[in-house]
Amino acid sequence: MYGDGVIGNHKTIEMLGTLITGVFNYLRDPAKSRAYTLANVAGSAYDYLYPPLTPEAQKDAVNNSLLAYMSQAPGFAKDRFKVKQDG
C-alpha cells in the first residue's frame, strides 16, 4: 500500500514531476521552446505512472474521443451512423 499508495513512490514521482513541469514551463521562453509535459520530465518513470494502453484500448480511446467530439455538434444523433459488423 505504501509503495504505490497515497504516500508512496507513485504519488511522490507524480507530484514532483508535476511540480518540476510547472516550474520549467514558467521559466521557459514561450517564443523559443515548446511546453514541457510530465512525460518529458519523468522520462521512463512515466510508464510506471501511466502504463501504456494495449492496441485494443488505444482503438477504443480514439473511438470514444471521436464520439465525444461529434456529440457536441447541434442535432447530433448517435443512431445516424451505422457500423457494419465483420464476419
Q: What is the tens place of the pLDDT at every residue in 5-57?
A: 666 678 888 889 999 999 999 999 989 999 999 999 988 888 888 888 899 99
Give residue 81's pLDDT: 67
63: its cell numbers: 473511438
Residue 33: domain span:
9-71
**How many domains would you assign to the chain?**
1
d(CA 79, CA 70): 12
pTM: 0.56
Cα radius of gyration (the chain): 19
d(CA 30, CA 84): 47
Q: Is residue 67's pLDDT more than 90?
A: no
Torsion sign over Cα 37, 43, 45, 46: positive
